[in-house]
């Protein structure tokens, strides 16, 4: 085959997706991920001026903004973000965030090698300007950005990236996303080939390898940094420098005058107020401008504010956060694919979007990683309750009861579980929903990756490679469905490996199509909807623009 992936050189847009980042990432250890990078945010001296601007696409109700419009930003001052407290579990190390306040801090203190694009793919440069593979994509060379300095004045070099690969990204206790790289990277052989050049040898070819690093846990720390040293003195390359951190209360950061993105950030001081214990308190503080930004409010509240206009509603124009019911394919009630297909067929996706998300979101059809290259957006389903009933009958489970444990950790999880249970009765089966504590739901003790039936939420990834490494390979860190252990699983795993390795575009297209067709027809995920990022800002805030993976 002709080799087509000669290099990875993302074009660098005039405004990178870093300024005003508001995003959640994948659920991990019972915590939602969220970040806010305020390189381009501004606060008006007053609230005057037009409030016009672009509205969201069909993934959001009319009136939601994809950019906060109007007015002339006032440079300087303090910008305050209000988030629900993570208590004493809050930490400041980018590889081990366990709650929403952590992500606000991490995205402002540190940078990634690459970032999601405006519509997820293609990715754009961060601390790496490009990445180049050898002929079969088994060795990658990362070309790093020149002129970047750490908050302590030291220059950013290849030594820093090598340290992250060898000591942190290879270690699951130091980085929760290390499973993405397990079995792929020959960590001990990662080496610098120049002051700003790093060579990364792989155990197996990966054609879209750079896309893995546009993921929230891969914030780059300084050579020699450890979780213990960072807890005392966090040093990054991000737009803000560390001032103070009190877990469960408040974090304070100051503008980085040497930040590599010229002219940014706009505000002098960033405060993360994590003293709040309920959403109503944050919302009230937002109205009186005690805080400037309330990320991920209740969706019903956001919908009400589209007409009340007490605050501004910011919604990403592309929905990429996927909500799904997970069915285990290798054992238990769902080992029979007729049962999995019946559940996928009976669900009324539009009703779930309206009832669980207050109308925000777009229907999804059982595939992961929307917006990425090779995503099979033409594979869709039509609801057919009678077909579902027939499949349940053929499988011998008509009239049976299915237990669905869920949790209320993210907006709409309990509501959509309840709606699915209501819809299932029409197809002749019963679903009993049990709401469990979010603190344990996403842990092995709570049934995570073990239970037959459950709930999962996937945050945006930048390639099918990332999604499949995360969920579907035998070494995946989140094997909810245990794909690959079912009869015929070895062949299915081989297909995924071939797709991940394919450097020829037409070959990759064909292989990824086959892999997605398998998931559509036999997979264990009932992906019912994709949610945009929805956030609220005080009426005097300007300069934030929503993106599918980051807001900028």
List Cβ neighbours of 524 (8 Å cut-off, separation of 6 or more): 326, 327, 328, 329, 334, 340, 480, 481, 482, 483
Please, are residues 136 and 224 in contact by the beta-carbon 8 Å criterion? no
- pLDDT recorded at residue 289: 94
Sole residue written with tokens 């390359």: 237
- pLDDT recorded at residue 82: 96
Sole residue written with tokens 């001990």: 188
d(CA 336, CA 524): 10
d(CA 49, CA 470): 46
Sole residue written with tokens 């980018």: 94
- pLDDT recorded at residue 41: 63
Tens-place pLDDT, residues 184-203: 999 999 999 999 999 999 99
Quote the pTM value: 0.88
N residues, the chain: 552
- pLDDT recorded at residue 465: 97
d(CA 506, CA 512): 10
- pLDDT recorded at residue 59: 60
CA angle (351, 310, 546) in 5-degree steps: 60
Tokens (6 digits) for 88 = 């004493």
d(CA 491, CA 131): 31
Q: Which residues pair with 195 in a beta bridge?
A: none
Task: Supply the DSSP string of 98-113, one letter for each residue.
Answer: -SHHHHHHHHHH---S
d(CA 224, CA 349): 49
Instruction: Report the first-to-last Cα separation within the chain, whole angstroms.
Output: 39
Tokens (6 digits) for 339 = 């049962």
Please, are residues 149 and 237 in contact by the beta-carbon 8 Å criterion? yes
- pLDDT recorded at residue 438: 83
Residues of the chain with pLDDT under 70: 1-59, 71, 73, 550-552
- pLDDT recorded at residue 83: 93
List Cβ neighbours of 318 (8 Å cut-off, separation of 6 or more): 57, 59, 118, 119, 120, 370, 371, 532, 547, 548
């Amino acid at each position: 085959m002709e080799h087509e992936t000669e290099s990875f050189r993302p074009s660098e847009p005039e405004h990178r997706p870093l300024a005003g980042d508001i995003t959640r990432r994948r659920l991990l250890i019972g915590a939602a991920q969220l970040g806010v990078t305020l390189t381009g945010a501004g606060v008006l001296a007053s609230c005057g001026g037009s409030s016009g601007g672009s509205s969201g696409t069909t993934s959001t109700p009319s009136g939601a903004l994809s950019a906060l419009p109007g007015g002339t930003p006032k440079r300087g001052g303090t910008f305050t973000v209000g988030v629900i407290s993570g208590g004493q579990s809050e930490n400041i190390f980018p590889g081990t965030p366990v709650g929403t306040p952590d992500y606000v801090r991490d995205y402002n203190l540190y940078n990634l090698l690459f970032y999601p694009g405006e519509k997820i793919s293609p990715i754009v440069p961060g601390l790496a300007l490009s990445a180049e593979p050898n002929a079969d994509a088994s060795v990658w060379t990362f070309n790093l950005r020149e002129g970047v300095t750490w908050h302590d004045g030291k220059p950013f070099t290849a030594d820093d990236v090598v340290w992250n690969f060898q000591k942190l990204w290879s270690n699951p206790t130091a980085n929760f996303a290390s499973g993405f790289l397990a079995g792929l990277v020959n960590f001990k052989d990662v080496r610098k080939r120049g002051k700003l050049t790093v060579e990364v040898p792989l155990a197996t070819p990966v054609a879209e390898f750079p896309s893995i690093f546009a993921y929230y846990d891969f914030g780059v720390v300084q050579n020699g940094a450890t979780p213990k040293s960072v807890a005392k003195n966090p040093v990054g390359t991000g737009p803000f420098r560390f001032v103070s951190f009190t877990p469960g209360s408040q974090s304070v950061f100051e503008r980085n005058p040497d930040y590599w993105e010229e002219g940014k950030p706009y505000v002098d001081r960033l405060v993360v107020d994590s003293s709040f214990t309920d959403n109503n308190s944050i919302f009230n503080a937002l109205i009186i401008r005690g805080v400037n930004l309330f990320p991920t409010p209740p969706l019903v509240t956001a919908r009400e504010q589209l007409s009340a206009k007490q605050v501004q509603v910011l919604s990403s124009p592309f929905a990429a956060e996927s909500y799904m019911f997970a069915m285990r394919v290798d054992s238990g009630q769902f080992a029979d694919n007729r049962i999995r297909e019946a559940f996928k067929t009976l669900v009324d996706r539009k009703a779930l979007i309206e009832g669980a998300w207050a109308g925000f979101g777009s229907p999804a059809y059982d595939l992961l990683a929307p917006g990425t290259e090779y995503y099979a957006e033409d594979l869709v389903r039509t609801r057919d309750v009678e077909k579902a009933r027939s499949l349940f009958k053929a499988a011998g489970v008509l009239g049976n009861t299915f237990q669905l444990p869920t949790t209320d950790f993210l907006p709409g999880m309990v509501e959509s579980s309840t709606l699915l249970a209501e819809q299932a009765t029409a197809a002749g089966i019963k679903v009993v929903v049990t709401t469990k504590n979010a603190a344990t739901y996403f842990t092995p003790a709570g049934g995570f990756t073990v239970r037959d039936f459950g709930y999962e939420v996937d945050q945006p990834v930048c390639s099918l490679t990332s999604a499949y490494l995360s969920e579907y390979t035998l070494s995946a860190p989140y094997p909810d469905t245990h794909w690959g252990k079912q009869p015929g699983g070895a062949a299915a795993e081989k297909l995924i490996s071939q797709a991940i390795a394919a450097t020829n575009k037409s070959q990759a297209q064909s292989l990824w199509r086959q892999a997605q067709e398998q998931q559509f027809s036999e997979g264990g995920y009932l992906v019912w909807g994709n949610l945009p990022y929805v956030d609220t800002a005080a009426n005097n805030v300007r300069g934030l623009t929503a993106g599918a993976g980051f807001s900028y």
